[in-house]
Each structure stands twice: as structure tokens, then as C-alpha cells.
Amino acid sequence: MPSIRFALQCRSGKANAATSANSIHSCHAKFVVVETTAAILLRKRKFSDTSLIVSWCTQSLGCIQTVAKGARRAKSPFSGKLDLFFEAEIQIARSRKSNLHTLTEVVLKNPFGGIRQNYLRMQTAAYFVELIEICTERDHHEPELFSLLRRAFGYLDTTDSTLRAVSHFETELARIAGVHDAKKLKSDPAFALGNLFGKLPLSRTPLLKALAPNDGRGNKRKNVRETNDPI
């Protein structure tokens, strides 16, 4: 469950001088829903000269977009906390008019630094992010997706990517998405996902080709690790 609180914002303004000789201040109340949740940073892009739009997969709120005001300034409180694949506890002020919420606080929990030590790990993590984005609706609560992505990044943080790891992620994602064709799911979970959502990330084919040369070495250790799912 997300941590939710309500903030009361007041805007003061002077009354008309003809009404009173003294300055009269009125408070226009505006309640803002402030929520806290665990989150993994999926992607970020420039919003303005000083701000970023940051996309997250969250534990309690689903996949959301936030604006990080002032994040591009040198002395921003967000400095060093907003990078791809970072896990953090975030606080947002929910927008009532759009699906672009305001990021108010970030506490870094796990940067998954090991992913950046290997290009194939980064390539695999990026593919997982694209799959999550294709298979989820904005602001739709699905805690299993967050748990799956966190486990996958934890695996890639310490272990090189393999075809088996990619297949396991796709299988779990298909299960969460409610693809019930057991035969197709067992043989080709990506086929099931593609049928359900109409497409798969274009990055999938080059990723599988890049992983194929390493798959033989991974198969030599299969008998030792076959009882343990990679993710």
C-alpha cells in the first residue's frame, strides 16, 4: 500500500481596498494528494532547461510519469538520484488534471551498479523496460510487475545475461498479463505476449542474437543450475 497524506496549500490575496481599509487576506484551500512508494526508474527525458520527465515502475501506483522540477540544475536535490534502472523510494504530488505528476522527493535505495559494468546486461535491462511499458497501462496498479522487474535487475546486477534469463522474464510477464494458453506460453512466451499486445520491442531480435554466442557456455552449467530460476 502506498503512503498517502494530504497537503493543504493556501494562496493569499488582498481584498479590495473599498471593502476595508485594512488588508484582508483570504485563504483559497487546495488539497494535494502526496504519495510515497518504492519505484524503479525506467527512462528520463528533458522537459525544460531545468526539469526532467521521469518514468517509473512503482510498487503501489503502477507505471507513472513525473516531472522533476529543477532536476537539471547543478545543485538540485535530485542530483545523482535519477539514472536509468535506479531503485528508489519516491514521493509524488498527484496531479488532478493529467497523468503527469510532480516528483517531490527521491531516496536512492539500489543503483544496480553491476548492470552498467556489462553492455549485454544493460541491453537486457533496457529490453525488460520496453516489455514492461508495452504490457502495462499508465497508472494501473500491478505490484507483481514491479516485483518481477526488481528481481530481474537484481539478477543482472550480479550475473551476465543469458537467453534463459530473458525467456524466464517473458514467461513470468506473460503469466502476470493473464495469457492462459499453456502450450504457447511454455514453448514461446514472447509469441503469447505479441499476440496479446500486438507487438514486441524491436530490440528483442538483436538482443537474442547478441546472447546466442554465450548460450553454449551457459548450457554447460545447466545441470548444476537447472532447478533454480534465474530471475
Q: Please give the average per-residue pLDDT across 199-219, as a whole number.
A: 84
In a domain, 208, yes or no: yes
In terms of domains, do 126 and 208 share one? yes
The most confident of 142-146, 150-154, 187-191, by mean pLDDT:
150-154
In terms of domains, do 104 and 125 share one? no
Total count of domains within the chain: 2
Domain end residue (candidates: 83, 110, 137): 110
Q: How many CB atoms lie within 10 A of CB 54?
A: 24
Using 50, 70 and 90 to split pLDDT, how confident is the model at 141?
confident
Domain end residue (candidates: 79, 110, 141): 110
Its domain, for residue 170, covers 114-225
Contact call for residues 31 and 7 (beta carbons, < 8 A): yes
> Mean pLDDT across the chain, nearest whole number?
83
Please report the pLDDT score of residue 136 as a whole number. 87
Give the helix/strand (H/E) hosting 212: helix 204-220
Please report the pLDDT score of residue 137 as a whole number. 82
In terms of domains, do 101 and 175 share one? no
Domain end residue (candidates: 72, 93, 110): 110
pLDDT in tens, 70-99: 999 999 999 999 999 999 999 999 998 899
Please report the pLDDT score of residue 43 as a whole number. 96
Whole-prediction pTM value? 0.80
